[in-house]
Chain A
């Protein structure tokens, strides 16, 4: 990237660039707002639809909320549905995504640090395996993972979803890139000369600069596990251990024969979107997505 470091040639013909006019550019602004409307409209619709009871959902005008007590009806009936199983789904999602993402980040960070900062026999082999892991479709693994879990007698347990969620080839790949760019070899070397052991060095020198990347990875993993459907769908048969995604999916399936459930599903969708949206708005500043895009800057 020598282009980047070259200073721009001094302009001779027009020494002073015209001062920028503070005029708003309306065409790009309008296009962006159009994009925002496309992305937000379905979420707005679900908020409106959640106010409608089963009889209103199919009959009233879609873009106007109802104040006939549909919202309360949906909330109470959803929370009562099968003895409050919806709350259980929410807590399960939190458990899978919370515990899974923390463990996943720990494993990925250590692995990424080791891959970036040490030369050792088998490094490239391990790394190529990890890259292959990024490419293999999840269901290709899901069938044998299911068989493995049933061999271990873990099918239908929390472990069957948690354990496979911990290994994230993509997380390791990002951690390696990140460690290579933020952990200073000179600092590590200085630590070694001062006689620090390798683990102390990793803990005191290597890992601290990786913390911003770890936070980003934590969020990425949290969302990935929270959003995961296929793995829990295959592993879990007891609806008390479903995450929200699988729970609402099965509810919708029942809705095909009991349309009264549709308004509850809409409410469930609304309630399941809320916490993650809130989390996102709150955590925006902690996102360091240059970790994702920066890894491939030439």
Chain B
């Protein structure tokens, strides 16, 4: 039974095959993956290639037929969807650098010697992670709402014109602020933990060479935790593509957030309000492919770093 090849393999890495064991251990995960990941993906692709078309002349019976890439064509030429995509990109361009920049800044500050109130700041900045996206959006919604907003109160108290956070020109930034607020703490903790993993001697060496804390932060610390920064960046990008909760929650508070404000809102409307599953499916696939395209390149790098050793 044992061929030369497997014999060599066995000698190199003894008895890691374990017969049926790995499959048994993986069974629950595989069943769930198939049911809630692969089947849905396959079905979405299938739906996206079909549509309900009226057939049978005067009787007008709606029948589901294969329409090829028609749905994709109409999705990509739908100005509302494309506007949503562009808005989402703009949102990402604001949120990802701001959130990660702040997270990195705070992590480095926390890691600086002789900083006071570190524990308090760390918990304080991390706290929004405990607040669900909907609740965070409700909360900020009230802070933005002209009648209630304490921020406007402050502006008026010092005699400045109160900003309108929900105006067409500013609402994107207001939504982005909720995203930054909710995500900065978690990313800060991840980066801070990575910094803690760096051996102290690295810094001592740099200090002996005469580097000051800013130089150490930028030249020693940041390069060392780059893998963690890249990983947080990927996850921030992925969550940008999935932005839904914040604008959907602000929607009842203002007219400036439309039903198609971001792609996921369009997909939700198509699928559950208009009952047009086919368009929703095509729009979903477009979004999923976008996510994949954004992530795969960076992930290749990431995976090599993460699994270089246990292979």
Interface residues of chain A, those whose CB is within 8 Å of chain B, are: 4, 7-9, 11, 14, 17, 20-25, 28-29, 31-33, 35-40, 42-43, 45-46, 49, 57-58, 61-63, 106-108, 110-111, 113-120, 123, 126, 129-141, 143-148, 163-164, 166-167, 169, 172, 177, 180, 185, 189, 192, 198-199, 202, 223, 226-230, 234, 244-246, 248-249, 252-253, 255-256, 262, 265-266, 269, 272-273, 276-277, 279-281, 284, 287, 289-290, 292-298
Contacts of A279 in B (CB 8 A): 130
Given the known A-B contacts A129-B37, A177-B306, A248-B134, are A293 and B190 also in contact in the complex, defined by CB atoms under 8 Å? yes
Interface residues of chain B, those whose CB is within 8 Å of chain A, are: 9, 13-19, 21-26, 28-30, 32-33, 35-41, 43-44, 47, 102, 105-106, 109-110, 112-118, 120-121, 123-136, 138-143, 147-150, 153, 181, 184-185, 189-191, 193-194, 196-199, 201-202, 204-205, 207-210, 213, 225, 227-228, 230-231, 238, 241-242, 244-245, 249, 252-253, 264, 267-268, 271-272, 277, 280-281, 284-285, 287-288, 291-292, 295-296, 299, 302-303, 305-307, 309-310
A43 to B194, CA, bound (A): 28
Contacts of B143 in A (CB 8 A): 42, 45
Contacts of A42 in B (CB 8 A): 128, 136, 139-140, 143, 181
Is chain B's interface secondary structure helix, strand, loop, or mixed overall?
helix
Contacts of A46 in B (CB 8 A): 139, 142
Check if B245 sits within 8 Å of A230, measured CB to CB: yes
Contacts of A110 in B (CB 8 A): 25-26, 28-29
Check if A167 sits within 8 Å of B29, measured CB to CB: yes
Check if A147 sits within 8 Å of B150, measured CB to CB: no
Check if A58 sits within 8 Å of B148, measured CB to CB: yes
Of all chain A residues, the one with the shortest Cβ separation from B191 is A293
Check if B153 sits within 8 Å of A143, measured CB to CB: no
Report the minimal beta-carbon distance from A55 to chain B, rounded to whole angstroms.
12
Check if A144 sits within 8 Å of B106, measured CB to CB: no
Contacts of B204 in A (CB 8 A): 8, 17
A256 to B302, CA, bound (A): 46
Is chain A's interface secondary structure helix, strand, loop, or mixed overall?
helix
Contacts of B22 in A (CB 8 A): 114-115, 118, 120, 123
Check if B305 sits within 8 Å of A25, measured CB to CB: no
Check if A35 sits within 8 Å of B138, measured CB to CB: no
Contacts of B43 in A (CB 8 A): 144, 147-148
A40 to B185, CA, bound (A): 11
Of all chain A residues, the one with the shortest Cβ separation from B223 is A3
Check if A24 sits within 8 Å of B115, measured CB to CB: yes
A44 to B299, CA, bound (A): 39
Report the minimal beta-carbon distance from B43 to chain A, rounded to whole angstroms.
4
